[in-house]
Amino acid sequence: MSKRAAALCGAAVVMAGTFTAVPAEASAPGTANTARIAKLTWKSCATDTYPTLQCASLKVPLDHRRPHGQKIALALSRVPHTARTYQGPLLVNPGGPGGSGLTLAGFVASSLPAKVAAQYDVIGFDPRGVGASEPALDCKPGHFDPVRPDSLPTTPAIEKANLDRARSFAAACGKKYGHLLPYINTAGAVRDMDAIRQALGAKKINYFGYSYGTYLGAVYATFFPERVRRLVLDSVVDPTDVWYEANLNQDLAFNDRHRAFLAWVAKYDATYRLGTDPERIEATWYAMRAALAKKPAGGSVGASELEDTFIPGGYYNGYWPSLAEAFVAYVKDKDSEPLVEAYENFGAVDASGDNGYSVYTSVQCRDAAWPRDWRQWRKDNWAVYDMAPFMTWNNAWYNAPCAFWPTDSLRPVNVANGKLPPALLFQATGDAATPYEGAVTAHRLLARSSLVVEEGGGNHGVTLSGNACLDEHLAAYLTDGTVPRGHGEADAVCAALPDPEPEATTAKAGRASSNGSALHGLLGFRH
């Protein structure tokens, strides 16, 4: 980053005076009035990992402007409070759009300090169209089955093949879900959240969102500022560039993050034997890509699938050892099996991934305007590719259905808000999926918010993943509203955790057991 948050922060911890440990509106889960609204029947859906998890279903209008019209069902989860001090519901969301939040409730409840978690009903939910909610979207099963066309459109034939895929996906969504698509968007999900609040019998909610979930929370706070009690946003979407510009900005940041991974491989030359020059290792990586474009590994990992496999390393450095092992095995030992395994763990898309992508495109293509002239995409993405070749065209094709989407677009929501209680934002300076500047922008737009920065960190989703400094700020805020107050761009700065070491992984890709790996498994990729 060109700016260093540490140099701009003179932080002092203050108390948000409008909060008490047991606010009147949260001290009782329901009243005689709210009981008439609540229609939730909670049943155990416990797992070995989350033995107190409960699940329920809530019917809401497809179109909230027509409350007596067609209904859809939202899947909810809950870890109920156990303390005498009750601070109300804490809704949690993992991002996406298209991410399932049911298991995240269990993760958050078990990862917060026990005394803090015990004071909240931690509520997870699958947003409309997602997962266990009904109906769940799946526009075109198998859309990402390998081997796809090379993402790099170096010939008219390759570009046409990718364009045909994008058009066919958009057409399939329109044919299958044309009556639903106008209502699969952030505004609809926000109104669903307020229906959840009503069903829980709460006057206000507490909210904790990661990634796209930060935009979801900011929009909820815009629609219903008087119903927000506490608001935590981790890895913050820039609310002023949704969504076309956001993806171009991501490309630049992911290229930097991929180079950070390659520099890490160079640092551990004694293990990986690819040399100590990151630029030469980068050339080796692109040579691997070129080879796979001609002959996919194991019949399943071509150039596009290789990118899919390594993009998750831009989200979370805990994957770096497994990715490096696969890289080395292919280029040094001519062994493609570790690369195929890494693809299966990180890049392959299953049925839940098909669902997530269907909702992702439905929300992003509807939320805001996208260029309808492909010549604009071609011009913009080649310009960015010249600076950032790693993910640019892969990301362009991922979002390309929006150029052909069968609904019109809405206007982005202006989230500038002076009516909220103090909110707490968390951001790593090197985050690729939601670049740092976006958090600074959101901090400015959300009056009285505080920004806690992980200086030097590059992961996406930083709280509850092992950084005690960040988690202390989170726990203090959820306990009694304590927020840090500084005088610069950031209100508090925490040092990043060190990058992993090669020896730190004894399991294969995707099977590590740290809190960070658990969190990033729930957040998924492509937020």
Q: Annotated active-site positions, please?
A: 211, 431, 460
User: Cα dihedral angle (114, 117, 118, 122), rounded to 10 degrees?
Assistant: -150
Q: Find the radius of gyration of the CA atoms of the chain.
A: 23
Query: What is the side-by-side order of every strand in the sheet holding 71-79?
Result: 43-44, 54-61, 71-79, 121-126, 89-93, 205-210, 228-234, 424-428, 450-455, 492-495
**Cα–Cα–Cα angle for 450, 112, 35, rounded to 5 degrees:** 90
**Do residues 492 and 473 touch, judged by C-beta distance below 8 A?**
yes
User: Do residues 126 and 75 touch, judged by C-beta distance below 8 A?
Assistant: yes
| 168 vs 149: CA distance, rounded Å | 14
Nearest to 99 by CA among 13, 211, 10: 211
Task: Provide the 8-state DSSP code for 143.
Answer: T
Strand partners, 483: 14
The interaxial angle of helices 351-367 and 156-177, nearest 10 deg, is 90
CA 458 vs. chain centroid, Å, equals: 14
Two tokens, residue 262: 């390659």
Taking each helix axis from N to C terminus, what angle separates 102-111 and 515-523, rounded to the nearest 10 degrees?
160
